[in-house]
Amino acid sequence: MKNIFSNKEFLKKTTLVLFALLFCVFALWAKQDQPPAKAPAPENAAKANPVKPTPESLAKGKKLYVIDCAMCHGDNGNGKGDMASDMKNVTDFTNPDALKNRTDGELFYAIRKGKGEMPPEGDRAKDDDVWNLVNYIRSLAKK
Ligand code: HEC
């Protein structure tokens, strides 16, 4: 039997396949090095809330909340809105522990960019509106 490794065509193909594999491994490795797309960047978490939780801010926040958020987070913030029935972990804002360890900047970012099953608010709301929302949902926590 002829030695298979002396077959030029075979060698050529094997080399090609090996290079293709090597490339895949490299591509996977390079991908792993990138941070996940939705991880809040540290500068977002540290972003300070420029809007004070005045009655005016809370009223504006509530107005938007009723339109954009209540269907999932519930009218009173308990996470049991109409659309929440088939979602597992809609954040319950009435639970004082729910947002305890989150900075205002992180909440701002989650609202703006979305999180898990929550769709992003995107550019629909102005920065101040998103801060009003942050202030409002914090006011829903039971004391
Ligand atoms: C389609 C349903 C849906 C809508 C609409 C929605 N949310 Fe959410 N929200 C979720 C879900 C689900 C989570 C939990 C996400 C996770 O942690 O994976 C969440 C989480 C959050 C969190 C917690 C983020 C964190 O880092 O823990 C905040 C704050 C929030 N939502 C605010 C809002 C505000 C404000 C609005 C309205 C502008 C809104 N959400 C609209 C489903 C929704």
107 in contact with ligand 1, CB cutoff 6 A:
yes
Per domain, the residue ranges of the chain are 4-33, 42-139
Q: Which CATH superfamily is domain 42-139 in?
A: Cytochrome c-like domain (1.10.760.10)
pLDDT band at 5 (very low <50, low <70, confident <90, very high): low
In ligand 1, which atom is closest to the CA atom of 115? 15
Is residue 56 predicted with pLDDT exceeding 90? yes
At 109 the pLDDT is 94
Give CA torsion, residues 23, 25, 28, 34, to 10 deg. -90
* pLDDT tens per residue, range 17-55: 888 888 867 777 776 665 555 555 667 788 999 999 999
- pTM higher than 0.85 for the full model? no
Mean predicted confidence (pLDDT) in 127-142? 97
CB burial readout 114-141, b (16+ within 10 A) else e: ebeebeebeeebeeebbbbbbbbbbebb
